[in-house]
Amino acid sequence: MPVTAKEACDQPDEAPESNDLTLLNREQLRACVEVSKAITAELDPEKLIPTIMARISRLLPSETWSLLLLDDATQTLKFEISMNIDPSTVRDFRLALGQGVAGQAALRQRLLVVEDVSGCDFFFDQVDAATGRRTTGLICAPILYAGRTLGVLEVVNPSHVEPSGLAMIRLLADYLAIAIENTRRYQRMKTSAVHDSLTGLFNQRYLYMNLQRHLDTCRRGDRPLSLIFMDMDDFKQVVDLHGHLNGSRALSEVAQRLQACLPPPTFGVAYGGDEFVIVLPGFDRAQAVALATRIRQAVKETPYLIQWGPLVELTASFGVATFPEDADDSTCLLALADQAMFHVKTSGKDRVNANLKKRPACRKVQRLKIAKTER
């Protein structure tokens, strides 16, 4: 049986209820199955929300309804969907766990029914004030997955409250939990496939998949594109002196400094080991050199590993190559930026080099092999 909001507060330790599907008739079950097929098959978060709105609206006999999702970082509920309500009026609302009926449902992990909100001590009336609507009754169903609260399905001013309707709301909340969790896991997989786990920057896979596309876009728009190849100086000494764990920590901190210097649509790539590539769509040679200089200064002026004990100072060497002056394909452009950086390595380090010799066949550009200890 559902509980009222007051009962939920009086019994905070009760476990979430199971659902009795025998309360649903054949038509209701068929409708719920169709909804489940639609929303659990969608993995794109941009498409999931419209799918939920279109499907669930047909099954909820109410004046309006909302989907609130829990922000894991802040542990607050935010409005993701609000049917028949201007999204801008509720976009900035955040409900703490336990705040309002929805917050109580999320906190207690119980379906709450409030037939008359005027008798509910923790009804959150600021939403009504912002939207101009008048809430008289609420049904709030927590969206749970593996014991975790993902959000709340909130039905506002339901036309009637009966056991079969509550069973259907619980079932819809279960389907929503599966759909939301599937979408989040899919997004995490997509992100991990193209991001470096240590630094959070894009990885080589992303670079090779997208560099030529960015270059082609600049070619069509008659715009330049520059690459910066960045290699940390004498980084092996940091690892030898402070250990591999601190070496990884230092690289992560370098990546943070690098990322802070990059305006959109530029992006950084963890190329491998202690090497980074920065892709600069729309940047000519002078702009790329200026940005590389700022990054070099930021890296050099930052102390590293402070919170881990040792204080480490680092520098890096930079090579710059620009399309179309230096090369007209991504492979050659990357090789030339690497070559420019290598020249810095062999002539003093801690500098930016953009002086490249023209070469008729870029594919023949070879990077000299040197031992890592020489870097």
140 and 241 fall within a common domain? no
370 and 262 fall within a common domain? yes
Which range (10-24, 79-93, 276-290) has the least confidence? 10-24
Confidence (pLDDT) at 361:
47
Q: Smallest Cα–Cα separation from 322: which of 228, 213, 219, 200?
A: 228
Confidence (pLDDT) at 96:
94
The Cα–Cα gap between 244 and 258 comes to 21
pLDDT at 375 over 50: no
Confidence (pLDDT) at 162:
80
The DSSP letter of residue 26 is: H
Tokens of 221: 């728009």
User: Which residue range is the domain that position 173 belongs to?
Assistant: 3-192
Band (pLDDT 50/70/90 cuts) for residue 64 is: confident
Band (pLDDT 50/70/90 cuts) for residue 18 is: low
Band (pLDDT 50/70/90 cuts) for residue 34 is: confident
Decide if 104 is inside a domain.
yes
For 275-290, write each residue's pLDDT tens digit.
999 999 999 999 999 9
Look at strands 267-272 and 303-304 and give their pairing. Answer: unpaired
Phi, psi of 11, deg, nearest 5:
-130, 65
Domain end point (choices 151, 169, 192): 192
164 and 224 fall within a common domain? no
pLDDT at 100 over 90: yes
Neighbours of 350 (CB within 10 A): 16
Band (pLDDT 50/70/90 cuts) for residue 14 is: very low
Task: Give the chain's mean pLDDT.
Answer: 85
Quick check: 305 and 311 in contact, CB under 8 A? Answer: yes
224 and 162 fall within a common domain? no
Band (pLDDT 50/70/90 cuts) for residue 152 is: very high
Give residues with Cβ within 8 angstroms of 282, minimum separation 6: 218, 223, 224, 225, 265
109 and 188 fall within a common domain? yes
pLDDT at 6 over 80: no
Q: Which whole-number Å values give the CA distances from 77 to 114, 128, 155, 222, in the listed order?
A: 19, 17, 15, 46
Confidence (pLDDT) at 357:
62
Decide if 198 is inside a domain.
no
Look at strands 312-313 and 275-281 and give their pairing. Answer: unpaired
The Cα–Cα gap between 82 and 89 comes to 10
For 163-206, write each residue's pLDDT tens digit.
877 888 888 888 888 888 888 888 888 888 889 999 999 999 99
Quick check: 228 and 319 in contact, CB under 8 A? Answer: yes
pLDDT at 359 over 80: no
223 and 312 fall within a common domain? yes
Confidence (pLDDT) at 70:
95
For 111-142, write each residue's pLDDT tens digit.
999 989 988 888 999 888 888 889 999 999 99
Decide if 241 is inside a domain.
yes
Provide the number of structural domains found in the chain: 2
111 exposure class (CB count in 10 Å sphere: 0-12, 13-18, 19+): buried
The DSSP-derived string for 272-333 is: ETTEEEEEEET--HHHHHHHHHHHHHHHHH-EESGGGS--EE--EEEEEEEETTT-SSHHHH
187 and 213 fall within a common domain? no
Band (pLDDT 50/70/90 cuts) for residue 237 is: very high
The Cα–Cα gap between 290 and 344 comes to 16
pLDDT at 15 over 70: no
Q: Which residue has the higher pLDDT, 12 or 37?
A: 37
Confidence (pLDDT) at 23:
72
Domain end point (choices 192, 222, 243): 192
Left if phi > 0, otherwise alpha if psi is -120 to 50, otherwise beta: which for 296? Answer: alpha
Confidence (pLDDT) at 176:
86
- The CATH code of the domain that includes 36 is 3.30.450.40
Q: Which residue has the higher pLDDT, 279 or 87?
A: 279
232 and 340 fall within a common domain? yes
pLDDT at 8 over 70: no
First to last CA, the chain: 70
Decide if 100 is inside a domain.
yes
Decide if 197 is inside a domain.
no
How many residues comprise the chain?
Answer: 375
Decide if 282 is inside a domain.
yes
Confidence (pLDDT) at 122:
86
153 and 232 fall within a common domain? no
Band (pLDDT 50/70/90 cuts) for residue 358 is: low
Q: What percent of the chain has pLDDT over 90?
A: 55
Cα angle, residue 373 at apex, residues 368 and 375 outer, rounded to 5°:
60
Confidence (pLDDT) at 165:
79
Q: Which whole-number Å values give the CA distances from 89 to 19, 81, 84, 93, 128, in the listed order?
A: 34, 12, 11, 8, 10
Q: Which whole-number Å values give the CA distances from 352 to 4, 36, 145, 302, 344, in the listed order?
A: 68, 57, 51, 18, 7
Neighbours of 10 (CB within 10 A): 10
134 and 45 fall within a common domain? yes
213 and 255 fall within a common domain? yes
The Cα–Cα gap between 178 and 145 comes to 7
- Mean pLDDT score, 224-234: 97
Decide if 199 is inside a domain.
no
- Sheet containing 138-145: order of strands: 3-4, 112-114, 138-145, 148-158, 62-71, 76-82, 94-96
Confidence (pLDDT) at 368:
38
pLDDT at 309 over 70: yes
Quick check: 247 and 238 in contact, CB under 8 A? Answer: yes
pTM score: 0.66
Quick check: 113 and 2 in contact, CB under 8 A? Answer: yes
